[in-house]
Structure 1
């Protein structure tokens, strides 16, 4: 089968190990279901895999990708939930200490087929194209959980999204605006600031800028580059919700500010199958759609990865498996 895969690992030059070509179908557990993938999408997780984070040399070659929309062997249009929990686990999948993401222990979604447990399949709403649906299972699901499960803020609150442009940030802007939050966003790029406005941001600011007023909750997936600003932007008693650190871990937790202003810090990771199903229904009912940066044939995946490395992306890069 055709696949985009990691052939080797390099922390310094990750794209040297990225390949497109034919791989044999993998050996998978008997209870896994096969899905013919029609669209997949790119995440920072795929770049981290090529750097060796969460992926060891002994697992190579490994098909990359956590997100997919396609058709199962029964003819159902489905989304693939990329969190693979332990066989007997029935609680919140993100709390399973033995969980993994597709492309870590099991082959990922950037191939003609992917195999997952039956419980990892969610019906695709007919209102969504396969390209739109393929954007939901990782970054949009992460944003949904941050906004509606982890965050203490209610609609009508003012929230700040750091680093407008990436998949999680654009999802937070679109979902938050549709749900009735006053959404502010930051970016170093004037172009991305205007794109954030078009997604529904009520106002946009330069990275690190002083805000007109303090906010109820900050959503931060950037880490070191924005952490200090995130804490300073909060009202007393406010909260920061973090799901990642793409710029590196925060050098200081700034505990004096946290305890004196009684700030809260919440960690949030991915989301559950049930949350993915609710997210799919939410976008179908509201008309909100993922911001798609570009759609490329699967064979041209390298160009999409290069675009992410150069930080040129606004929204999601989608790979069309039909081409």
Structure 2
């Protein structure tokens, strides 16, 4: 079958489109004919180094995707031809975290496109429990986008951030997939949203989507702008995946007892802790990655109810994957970069 795979680590020279062995389905699994996927930061990470993630080369790339069921067990709950999306976190089902329903914390977790072959291929096999019916109102590419960025944003906002209607959230780096997803979900929850960006055109897009305030970081101070907007109160929640470069502003923008949820560290992972501020103002700092299976089900229901459509910036063919990776590495996109796995 055709697949996009890496045979080493470095730049685009290790990323290839070519033949890979067809996956073999076993009882309890579903074989999916893949149609569409989107790019995520971890795709760049796996290409660049994959450090700390146990994997074997060559390895097919891609964390999530949309497709149609090609083979399944009769009792799986699916039929051949069903339109489906995958939950990319394959858990053991036996550790303490799986037993309490938080399978994303599984001690033996295996992520599609990280620890095992990914979704950028003609076919993919995953356990039936990791397959969900795709929302019927979405395009192939929109459906594919939900499983990583929107699920990550959902856990950050709802589970970790405990965000409620009427509160205020500050989202750093609008334009990236998680940040745009967080904006969409927060607005549907009835939340006031402040966003930041180095790019004026991304702030304009965010305001069109409902953001109440856009902070142009080359020319405006984040903390000063936040405090003016909130009448010196601060925000209830900060959503960030930048890390070191924005950490100080993120901490100082929080209301007393506020929460900061982080899912990345693209600018560095060793920010000053600012412990006095944390304990004096009783702030909560929470880490978050992806989301568990129940959260994915809740997200799909929420999106269907509010008719949320992920923002697709551009669509690339499989043979244009180098171009797509380059655009993501330069953070030029607003929303998601998609891959057409049929072309």
Decide whether the 8 Å contact of 2:165 with 2:190 is kept in 1: yes
Q: Which residue pairs with 2:193 in the alignment?
A: 183
Q: Does 1:4 align with 2:24?
A: no
Q: 1:254 to 1:28 in 2, by over 3 A?
A: farther
1:151-230 equivalence runs, <5 A: 151-207=161-217, 208-209=221-222, 210=224, 211=226, 212=228, 213=230, 214-230=234-250
Q: 1:64 aligns with which of 51, 61, 65?
A: 61
1:26-75 CA distance string (max 9 Å, x none): 45655432111110110001011112225769601111111101111222
> What secondary structure sits across from 1:8 in the alignment?
coil
Q: Hey, what's the Cα distance between the residues in 1 that align with 2:193 and 2:253?
A: 13
Q: Hey, what's the Cα distance between the residues in 1 that align with 2:325 and 2:117?
A: 18
1:118-133 equivalence runs, <5 A: 118-133=128-143
Decide whether the 8 Å contact of 1:6 with 1:62 is kept in 2: yes
Q: TM-score, normalised by structure 1?
A: 0.94
Structure 2 regions of 5+ residues with no counterpart?
A: 71-79
Q: Hey, what's the Cα distance between the residues in 1 that align with 2:265 and 2:82?
A: 36
The structure 1 segments of at least 4 consecutive aligned residues displaced by more than 3 Å after TM superposition are 26-31, 54-58, 87-90
Decide whether the 8 Å contact of 1:8 with 1:57 is kept in 2: no
Q: Which residue pairs with 2:291 in the alignment?
A: 271
Q: Does 1:318 align with 2:338?
A: yes
Q: Which protein has the larger Cα radius of gyration, Structure 1 or Structure 2? A: 2
Q: Hey, what's the Cα distance between the residues in 1 that align with 2:111 and 2:330?
A: 25
Q: Hey, what's the Cα distance between the residues in 2 that align with 1:232 and 1:29?
A: 52
Q: 1:296 aligns with which of 306, 316, 330?
A: 316
Q: Does 1:256 align with 2:276?
A: yes
Q: Which residue pairs with 1:18 in the alignment?
A: 15
How far did residue 145 of structure 1 move? 1.0
Q: 1:49 aligns with which of 24, 37, 46?
A: 46
Decide whether the 8 Å contact of 1:66 with 1:101 is kept in 2: yes
Q: 1:179 to 1:87 in 2, by over 3 A?
A: closer
> What secondary structure sits across from 2:65 in the alignment?
strand
Decide whether the 8 Å contact of 1:122 with 1:273 is kept in 2: no
Give the aligned length.
320
Q: Hey, what's the Cα distance between the residues in 2 that align with 1:40 and 1:276?
A: 17
How far did residue 104 of structure 1 move? 2.1
How far did residue 8 of structure 1 move? 0.8
Tell me the C-alpha RMSD between the 2 structures: 1.7
